[in-house]
Structure 1
C-alpha cells in the first residue's frame, strides 16, 4: 500500500510500505479519508519519542475489508476501566501504532463504528478525535448545562469548531476568542453569539463585560490565569492543550475565593464516543472542512496546520 511515513528529522515521505495484517480481534479498514490533528505535528516534531519510521494519523473512515461495512474509527486504544481518566495501557492511534495516513489501517474491531449516514467520507474522517475531545471537555468534564455561557479559546481549530456547535446544540451561550475577525464571524455562523479579538482588545475585560463565563475551554495552556479570571463564581476551566506554552502560574487566593475548578481532559472514553455519536444523530451540525488534499500532499497539509491559517479540519483523501 501507499502511506505517509515520518522519518528521522520529521521528514514526511509518501512511499510504498507493507500492507497491515489484522491480529486476532482486529480488522483491516480500506481508508477513504483521514484527517489531520495537532497531535500529528507533535509526532512529526519528535515531541513524542516514538520509533521511526511511523505512519501518523488518528482519524479515518473507510470500508471494512472483511464485511464491506462503511465505518468510522474511534482513535483511542485501550482506554481502560475508569471513566475519570484513561488507564496505564492507553494509546492513541498514529503513534506508537501506525495510523491513518495510508490506504489501509489495522485496528481493534472494538474501535470501528458504523459511519454516520448523513456525513461524507471526508466529514466522517474529520470528526472522531477533535469532536470527541470537544464533547468530553464540554460535558463529561466541564458539566456544561443549557443556559450557561461557555468561552472557547482559539476559534478556527478543529476542536473549537466542534465545541461551538455542540455547546450551541445543548442550549448554551457561546463566545469565542481569536486574532482573526473572519474566524470570529465564521464561529458566529456555527452558533456562537459573538467573539473577542485578542489582538486588538483586552479579551478578559471584554468577556467580563459580556457577563463572564461559566465554562472556559482552553487549549492554549499559558492562558490559565486569564481563563480563570473570565469565570463567574463557581465556574470551571477545562484544559486539553498547550499550544501557547507548557507552564502557567495562577494566583491562589482568587482561585479559592472564586470557588473555581481547573480540570484536565484528553480524548474520550468509549462512553464519551457513544454520547458524541448520539449528539450527531440528534442534531444537524456537521464537521467543518477547510480543505481536502491527496494523501501524497500530506506534508503540505501538515504545514498548513502548523501555520494556523485554516478554519476547521484538514482532510486527506486516501483512495
Structure 2
C-alpha cells in the first residue's frame, strides 16, 4: 500500500508498505481521504518532539471499514467512519496523561491506503458529509470544540473573537460559535480571508497588522466575552485590552511565542481568565461529531488533490495562503 512517511533529514516521501491485517479486536479501514494539520508541516520542518524516521504521518482521515476481527461487532463492516486521532488521553477528562499523543508521531498515522485500529477509536461519518469533508474534521474540530465550549463556555449572543481565522482550528471555532448563536468577529492579516469570513457570517473582520485595530475592534464590538487564540506572544496584551469584565481568553497554541510582558494588572482588575487548551478527550470528540451532525456543519475546504500530490499541500500550508482544510483523496 502507499503511505506518506517522514524520511531522513525531515523529508517526506510516498513509499510502499505492507498492507496491515486486523487482529481479533481491530478493524481494517480503507482510507478514502486525508487532511493536513499544521502539526504535519511542523513535523516536516523538524519542529515537533518525538519525530522518528519511517513514521507514517497524518492525523485526519475518513474511510470505510472493509474488514473486522472476530471479536468486533460485525455491524461495523462497510460503515463509513472518521478516526479519532487521540492516543492515551487517560482517565482524567480535565487534562491529558503524560503518555498522550496524536496519531502521526510517534505512532503511525493515517496518510496511507489502509490502517488498522480498535473500534472504540472510530465513529460513523455524519451522513451529510463527503469523505473529503469528513477527513477535514477530526483534529481541528475536536481542538476547537474543547477550547470553545469546555474552557470558553461559549453562549448564544456573546461577543466572540476568533484570531487568525485562516487556520483550521480557528475556522472550526468560527463555525461552531456561529452555530451557537454568538456574535462572531475574526482577525486575519489576509484581506481575502477577512472578506470570506464576513460572507460566512462574521460581524466584522479586523487586520491585526493595522496599528489601530484594537481601538477599532473595541468600538465595533463593545468588547469581547470570549477570545479563541492560537498566537499568544505580545499580542495577548491586545486581547486583554479588548475583554469585557470577566472575559475569557482561551489559547490552543503559541505561534508567536511567549509575551515579553503580561498585562496582569488589567487582568486581575477586570477578572479576565487566560486559559490554555489542547486537543480534546474522547468524549469531547464524540460530542463534537454530534454537534456537527445536529447543526449540519460543513468543514471549509481550501482544495482537494490526489494523494500522489500531497507534498504540494504541505508546501501550500507552509506558505499560509490556504483558507480552509487541505485535503488529499486516495
The alignment's TM-score, normalised by the length of structure 2, stands at 0.92
> Could you tell me whether the CA contact under 8 Å between 2:35 and 2:326 is conserved in 1?
yes
Q: Is it true that 1:212 corresponds to 2:213 in the alignment?
A: no
Deviates more, 1:260-269 or 1:195-204: 195-204
Moved more, 193-202 or 284-293: 193-202
Cα distance, 1:190 vs structure 2: 2.2
In structure 1, list runs of 5 or more residues that go unmatched: none
Shift of 1:23: 4.6
Q: Deviations over 1:214-261 (max 9, x none)?
A: 111111121222222211111011011122224553022111111011
Residues 1:177 and 2:187 are matched in the alignment: yes
The 5 A counterparts of 1:144-155 are: 144-155=154-165
Does residue 252 of structure 2 align to residue 240 of structure 1? yes
Hey, what's the Cα distance between the residues in 2 that align with 1:294 and 1:139? 35
Superposed CA RMSD in Å reads 1.5
Q: Higher mean Cα deviation, 104-113 or 288-297?
A: 104-113
Over 3 Å counting, the alpha-carbon distance change for 1:248 and 1:135 in structure 2 is farther
Q: Matched residue of 1:65: which SS?
A: strand
CA contact (8 A) 2:147 2:250 kept: yes
- Whether the 8 Å contact between 1:225 and 1:248 is mirrored in structure 2 is no
Is the contact made by 1:164 and 1:190 (CA closer than 8 Å) also made in structure 2? no
Cα distance per residue 1:3-54 (max 9 Å; x no partner): 1111122211111122234355332211000000001112222222322121
Q: Tell me what 1:158 maps to.
A: 168
Q: Which of 202, 216, 231 matches 2:212?
A: 202
- In structure 2, stretches of 5+ residues that fail to align are 68-76
Matches within 5 A, 1:88-107: 88-107=98-117
Secondary structure of the residue aligned to 2:198 is helix
Distance 1:129 1:18 in 2: 26
Q: Normalising by the residue count of structure 1, what TM-score does the alignment of the two structures yield?
A: 0.95
How far apart, in 2, do the equivalents of 1:44 and 1:22 lie?
29
Aligned residue number for residue 300 of structure 1: 312
**Contact 1:28–1:105 (Cα < 8 Å) also in 2:** yes
- Residue by residue, what CA displacement relative to the aligned partner does 1:71-114 show, whole Å, maximum 9, x if unpaired? 11111122211221111221101111111111112223211000
SS of 2:133 mapped into structure 1: helix
How far did residue 179 of structure 1 move? 1.0
1:54 aligns with 55
Q: Is 1:64 aligned with 2:65?
A: yes
Whole-angstrom CA distance in 2 between matches of 1:248 and 1:173: 31
Whether the aligned pair in 1 keeps the contact of 2:86 and 2:102 (CA below 8 Å) is: yes
Change (3 A) 1:186 1:79: same
- Of the three residues 138, 159, 167, the one matched with 1:128 is 138
Deviates more, 1:278-287 or 1:261-270: 278-287
